[in-house]
Amino acid sequence: MNQTPRLLNRILLILIGFLLLLCGAHLMLTALAADYAQRWQVIASGAGAWFGNLLTTNTLPGQKDSWVWIVISAFLICIILVMLWWITVQGRGRGGDYVSKYFADENTPGRIEISPNAVDQMLRHFLGKRSDIISINISVWNLLPEAGLRVKVQPRKGTAPGPLGRDVARAARLAQDALGVSGPVLVYVVVGTRSRFARTERVI
């Protein structure tokens, strides 16, 4: 339900993986194939001589250093900034209050806000004392036109996920009807170590 650019992430992962694969193959050929290593040594020596000549012919006036290092430093800084921006755009969309509406009533105008904790309590009420659920976690996501609701459920070992998911989705719809909202609902059923070793007396 979040706004992570998944397709672009997968494309970047494929490209990075392909580049790493090429680098690994290059290192293996350099270590195992003598002819390939000799050709690579010639290419690397030529590239090093070209870069050294570039630095020598592009020195700053009155200085012994080249302005090429300034360009390289600026390029690396730009890469770092782009990487930081890319990190910030991952997983965006998580919201705060599930309901936040302003009513311009003539007598008592004001805003109504309902937190995810209230939705959590309503779900627990509608689901009742079920012994096959260990925990429920509610998160709100900023979607249009209404906020989305993700319900993360951790059942006990052996619980049928189909009927459980339908019951949780039904409880979420009842909670939405009571709150007067109709946004999308995602039921996320997870199973882990806690599900296998939780004691039977732990209920909602």
Q: pLDDT tens, 154-202?
A: 888 878 888 888 888 888 888 888 877 777 888 888 876 554 544 443 3
192 burial via Cβ count (<10 Å: 0-12, 13-18, 19+): exposed
Q: Is 185 in contact with 169 (CB distance < 8 Å)?
A: yes
Which of helix, strand or coil describes residue 100?
strand
pTM of the shown model? 0.48
Select from 111, 107, 77 the least CA-distant residue to 97: 111
Q: Is the pLDDT of residue 204 over 50?
A: no
> Six-digit token pair at 133?
């659920």
Cβ neighbours of residue 179 under 8 Å, at least 6 residues apart? 98, 99, 114, 119, 122
The single-letter DSSP state of residue 185 is: E
Q: Which of 84-88, 126-130, 172-176, 187-191 has the lowest mean pLDDT?
A: 126-130
pLDDT of amino acid 144: 66
Give CA–CA dist 134/96, Å, rounded: 24
141, 147 in Cβ contact below 8 A?
Answer: yes
Res. 99: pLDDT tops 60:
yes
| pLDDT at 81 > cutoff 90 | yes
DSSP-assigned letter for residue 66: B
Evaluate whether 54 touches 68 at the Cβ level (below 8 Å). yes
Q: Residue 38 and residue 30: Cα distance in Å, rounded?
A: 8
What span, in angstroms and rounded, lies between the C-alpha atoms of 137 and 117? 9
Tally of residues, the chain:
204
- Given this model, what pLDDT does residue 2 score? 53
Instruction: Calculate the average pLDDT of the chain.
Output: 79
Neighbouring C-beta atoms of residue 167, cutoff 10 Å:
18
**Dist. CA 112–CA 101, nearest whole Å:** 5
Contact predicate 92/5, CB 8 Å: no
- CB of 97 within 8 A of CB of 114? yes
